[in-house]
Amino acid sequence: MLILIELGLWAAFTLTMLWLWDHWLIPGPHGTIRWVGMDFIPYWVGVRRMMMGQSPYSIDTTHLIQTVLLGGPPEAGGDPMQFVYPAWIFLLLAPFALLPLKWAVALWTGSLLSGIFHFIGYLAFRWGDQRLGRTGFFAACLAVGSLPYLSIAVTKGQLSLVSLGALFLAIRMVDILPIQLGCGIPISDRGETKSGKANFIEILAGIFLTISILKPTLTILAMAGMLFWSVVERRVYFIAGFASCIGILSLASWVAVGNWIPDYLQLIRNTGGAPVLWSLAFLAWPWNALYAFIFIGIMVYAFIWFVRTRNRTQWFSAAVLTGLALLPMRWIYDLQLGILVSAESGQMSNLTSACVVIALLAPWGLSFFPESLRWSAQVIGLPIAWGVVWCAQFVLPVRSKGMK
């Protein structure tokens, strides 16, 4: 019965996106263009070109993307609409690239909407501590707080949601490993007693970690933090899952078009005049240095605490937060990664809960800012809001215990 309900929801979301494909139109440089699937089209075209042995980064591929999406070249100073992702997404996107564009967009965006629906529901139950009123409250806050991101990221078909979801699943898989072993005893303390199921879960977590870097600038620091943990804790199966998955994806892309890495590195060097570290570029000296110092300090604090206590929850959360604050973000929907700062939280204190709610709803407060300042306020303010959540969740409880 549950499977039928899930399939029904997924079909409803897909059909909704199919309808919006023909009805949600916006002005473009050569007439109206479709909003739904706008960011999916570049990698749909790019992967189809790879199937023909062509580079997804070539001028011809870029022209074809622009023609399919815009009807011609973009406006001067506008988004060039290129294939800007590592070509190892080839194998994962190939099934969609075999479909007609309309159905590929509907299935892709419908699946994203279904995934984020379940993600919000899971966090609401986890943060709500299985209490109906509290769960409903968090569900409402999560839905309202995520709406500014989802109205863009889901409908346009952004890979950032895949990276976010895969990173969450990797963290979640690691979280449930001790349960599979029984008695809540960490794997590292039980020697060779790991079951085959626990090994499989660990491999799966590594695979999801690989998928999380489909958009590497968004999750690269969080990925590095998890890999460091796996080395320290000697999680061989986790590392094997990560390495084998990235190896298979890379090999498939090399078979398709050869060594694409130089072209990709050249692409990411060409920022089109945009700053590489957005948040630091928005702030003047010495405020940008102070901003960087705060988040690097959080990472150093978490590292020291991890070395002393092996508290991986705090370490993972700090890696996500620091990446959110300092690494490149092109658009507003990348900022939704901050929700993972508290993804493993269960019973939160009233203070932490209040801080989480403020961070979730903070994007709506930007409507009080002048339009010209809203983007910079988001890039700088949202990481600060989630930084306060991190301190309330991990630092203040430790300080309180130390004072007793």
Q: Is pLDDT at 42 greater than 90 in this prediction?
A: yes
Tens-place pLDDT, residues 101-155: 999 999 999 999 999 999 999 999 989 877 888 999 999 999 999 888 888 889 9
Question: 177 or 362, which is more confident?
Answer: 362
Mean pLDDT of the chain: 85
Q: Is pLDDT at 360 greater than 50 in this prediction?
A: yes
The pLDDT assigned to 84 comes to 84
Which residues sit opposite 27 in a β-bridge?
Answer: 32
Alpha-carbon span 106 to 215, nearest angstrom: 21
Tokens 């790991």, residue located: 194
Share of the chain above pLDDT 70, in %: 89
Alpha-carbon span 106 to 363, nearest angstrom: 28
Alpha-carbon span 251 to 89, nearest angstrom: 11
Q: Kindly indicate the confidence band of residue 21, based on its pLDDT and cuts at 50, 70 and 90.
A: very high
The pLDDT assigned to 5 comes to 87
Closest CA to 21 of 81, 98, 82, 109: 109
Tens-place pLDDT, residues 251-293: 999 999 988 988 888 877 765 444 555 667 777 788 888 999 9
Residue 103 to residues 36, 100, 107, 134, Cα–Cα distance (Å): 12, 6, 6, 39
Residue 11 to residues 87, 151, 289, Cα–Cα distance (Å): 29, 19, 49
Q: Kindly indicate the confidence band of residue 183, based on its pLDDT and cuts at 50, 70 and 90.
A: very low
pTM above 0.75, yes or no: yes
| Least confident window among 39-48, 270-279, 335-344 | 270-279
Rg (CA), the chain: 22
